[in-house]
């Protein structure tokens, strides 16, 4: 690791001020991606600004039509929340599948979506449920938030503050995990919401995407059979040492069908 | 920078660089070498400790992040001279280790899992899933899973 200055922010204003006065500052949530990145010297910020002391960024609130999760809420808290399990069990289930217990105790929803790893789970839930991302500068729909591989609609110095998820009629998440890291080789999030059916795929492409053909077919008949013949072309999918694009294309069909069946 | 951390019930202070890892502070500055570094890449769990009662990987935390927090390492599980903790005893009885390199991390994960599943059934499948963040290169895990199951029962027995 290259040397840097460390600052623990006490409030959002404090964090933003620290960012502005730094030459090349970076925010840190749980450090689950940032610290490995620093160790590999893939980043060399002058200042690391720790968000851990900002209590306003933590917590889960549930009302009659939405679940709202603060950016610094860790995966373990979402997975264990009785309120989340009751309102959107697929979301708690998704959080329980991320990495391992130690990672879930530190990794946060804000850090996960700001990083937008193509194999991350949360982007699937955000797009699958049609969530809204709240930042220090704007309110943006999940469809517009994830813009490319490790790219989001966040600007320099902009912080995710919370994410709100509309409560669906039904939803389910199925992932084919990488056996070593547990990151998604392919993950399918399917939801029946009051604005229609949504099918979001993570892990397979540069960033999370929807499958409109499946959404249309499921609107006609909400059964796994209805999407059995829909193939997503492999051309734009990821190929790496974990899986070829062709294999990922196949897995999309399998995981999406399982998710539909799992919706019950 | 100056930090102070409660380690195994005792307040410890030290001067660290912002980039000092928590595991480096624990091993090299405090001399508590029971916490191991297996991979240094967040994968193996040999460095697992408890921070405020939660299992975390000390190779993926800065010492600065632990300032003011409550840490427990393997050394804090049982008194140095006294009897072993029931979970440690269970690892000994059930062939839960061979070389022993992964064991401190395994025990810290096991204790966190018992705490998390208090009052629920800690069955074999659950134990295996909960060990996702801990690698062992020797045992093939069967002994470890048996040990955790036995250790959990011994702990509930009020031992
Ligand atoms: C061994 C291992 C296994 C994993 N397995 C999975 C898996 O199966 N599925 C999965 O989805 N993920 C997985 N992860 C990732 C994990 O879920 C973390 O959520 C992710 O690494 C982000 O970590 P963090 O929240 O600690 O953010 P950090 O590492 O602290 O930050 C990540 C990036 O986000 C920025 N950032 C953080 N918070 C904010 C904010 N509020 N606003 C704006 N920017 C912010 C930081 O500046 C940094 O660039 C795994 C990680 C590890 C180490
Ligand atoms: S040394 Fe920390 S996870 Fe391997
Ligand atoms: S006993 Fe040798 S690594 Fe587990």
Q: How far apart are CA A203 and CA A207, in angstroms?
A: 7
State how beta strands A170-177 and A184-193 pair: antiparallel
Q: Which CATH class is domain A5-50?
A: alpha beta
Q: Is A182 on the interface with B (CB under 8 A)?
A: yes
Which domain covers residue B112, as residue numbers? 86-156
Q: ∠B96-B97-B101 over CA atoms, to 5°?
A: 135
Q: How far apart are CA A261 and CA A222, in angstroms?
A: 9
Identify the CATH number of the domain in which residue B112 sits.
1.10.150.120
Q: Do B42 and A103 count as a contact with CB atoms less than 8 A apart?
A: yes
Please say if the pLDDT value at position A198 is more than 90. Answer: yes
Count interface pairs A-B at CB distance under 8 A: 71
Shared domain check, B101 and B43: no
Closest approach of chain A CAs to the CA of B57, in angstroms? Answer: 6
Please say if the pLDDT value at position B158 is more than 70. Answer: no
Model pLDDT, residue B36: 98
ipTM, two decimals: 0.96
Supply φ then ψ for residue A107, to 5 degrees.
Answer: -65, 145
Residue range A45-67: mean pLDDT, rounded? 97
Shared domain check, B139 and B106: yes
User: How many separate domains does chain B show?
Assistant: 2
Residue range A59-74: mean pLDDT, rounded? 98
Model pLDDT, residue A44: 95
Please say if the pLDDT value at position B159 is more than 50. Answer: no
Q: Do A102 and B56 count as a contact with CB atoms less than 8 A apart?
A: yes
Identify the residues whose C-beta falls under 6 Å from ligand 3: B 97-102, 136-139
- Domain assignment of residue B133, yes or no: yes
Domains of chain A, by residue range, sit at 5-50, 58-263
Task: For residue A42, count CB atoms less than 10 angstroms from its CB and return exposed for 0-12, middle for 13-18, buried for 19 or more.
Answer: exposed
Q: Is A72 on the interface with B (CB under 8 A)?
A: no
Nearest to B61 among A31, A76, A100 (CB): A31
Q: ∠A69-A73-A79 over CA atoms, to 5°?
A: 85
Q: Do A35 and B60 count as a contact with CB atoms less than 8 A apart?
A: yes
- A-chain CB neighbours of B55 within 8 Å are 101-102, 105
Q: How far apart are CA A100 and CA A2, in angstroms?
A: 28
Nearest to B133 among A6, A36, A101 (CB): A101
Are B133 and B46 a contacting pair, CB within 8 Å?
A: no
SS3 content of chain B, % helix, strand, coil (to 5): 40, 15, 45
Residue B144 pLDDT level (bands cut at 50, 70, 90): very high
Model pLDDT, residue A180: 85
Q: Do B64 and A50 count as a contact with CB atoms less than 8 A apart?
A: yes
Q: How far apart are CA B29 and CA B1, in angstroms?
A: 14
Shared domain check, B122 and B71: no
Which fold is adopted by the domain A58-263?
Answer: 3.30.465
Assess whether the C-beta atom of A84 lies below 6 angstroms from ligand 1.
no
Q: What separation in angstroms does the CA of A169 have from each of A65, A102, A196, A228, B127?
A: 10, 32, 10, 22, 33
Full-model pTM = 0.97
Closest approach of chain B CAs to the CA of A212, in angstroms? Answer: 34
């Amino acid at each position: 690791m290259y040397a840097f200055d460390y600052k623990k922010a006490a409030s959002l204003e404090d964090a933003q001020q620290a960012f502005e006065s730094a030459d090349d500052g970076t925010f840190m949530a749980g450090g689950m991606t940032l610290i490995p990145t620093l160790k590999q010297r893939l980043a060399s910020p002058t200042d690391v600004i720790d968000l851990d002391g900002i209590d306003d960024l933590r917590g889960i609130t549930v009302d009659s039509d939405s679940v709202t999760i603060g950016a610094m809420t860790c995966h373990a808290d979402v997975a264990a929340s009785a309120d989340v399990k009751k309102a959107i069990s697929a979301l708690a289930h998704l959080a329980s599948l991320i990495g391992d217990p130690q990672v879930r105790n530190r990794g946060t929803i804000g850090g996960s979506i700001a990083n937008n790893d193509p194999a991350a789970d949360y982007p699937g839930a955000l797009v699958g449920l049609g969530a809204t991302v709240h930042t220090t500068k704007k309110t943006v729909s999940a469809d517009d938030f994830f813009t490319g591989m490790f790219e989001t609609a966040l600007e320099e110095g902009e912080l995710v503050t919370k994410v709100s998820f509309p409560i669906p009629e039904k939803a389910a998440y199925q992932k084919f995990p990488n056996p070593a890291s547990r990151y998604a080789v392919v993950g399918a999030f399917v939801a029946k919401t009051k604005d229609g059916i949504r099918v979001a795929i993570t892990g397979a492409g540069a960033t999370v995407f929807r499958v409109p053909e499946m959404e249309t077919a499921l609107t006609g008949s909400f059964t796994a059979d209805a999407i059995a013949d829909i193939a997503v072309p492999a051309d734009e999918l990821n190929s790496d040492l974990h899986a070829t694009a062709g294999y990922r294309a196949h897995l999309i069909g399998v995981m999406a069908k399982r998710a539909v069946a799992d919706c019950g | 920078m100056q930090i102070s951390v409660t380690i195994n019930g005792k307040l410890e202070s030290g001067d660290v660089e912002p980039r000092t890892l928590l595991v480096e502070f624990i091993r090299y500055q405090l001399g508590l070498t029971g916490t191991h570094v297996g991979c240094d890449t967040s994968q193996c769990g040999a460095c697992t400790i408890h921070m405020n009662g939660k299992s975390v990987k000390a190779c993926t935390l800065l010492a600065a992040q632990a300032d003011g927090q409550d840490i427990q390492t393997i050394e804090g599980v049982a008194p140095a001279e006294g009897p072993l903790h029931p979970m440690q005893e269970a690892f000994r009885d059930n062939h839960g280790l061979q070389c022993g390199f992964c064991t401190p991390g395994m025990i810290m994960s096991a204790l966190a899992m018992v705490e998390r599943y208090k009052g629920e059934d800690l069955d074999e499948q659950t134990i295996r899933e909960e060990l996702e963040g801990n690698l062992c290169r020797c045992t093939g895990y069967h002994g470890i899973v048996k040990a955790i199951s036995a250790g959990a029962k011994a702990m509930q027995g009020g031992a």
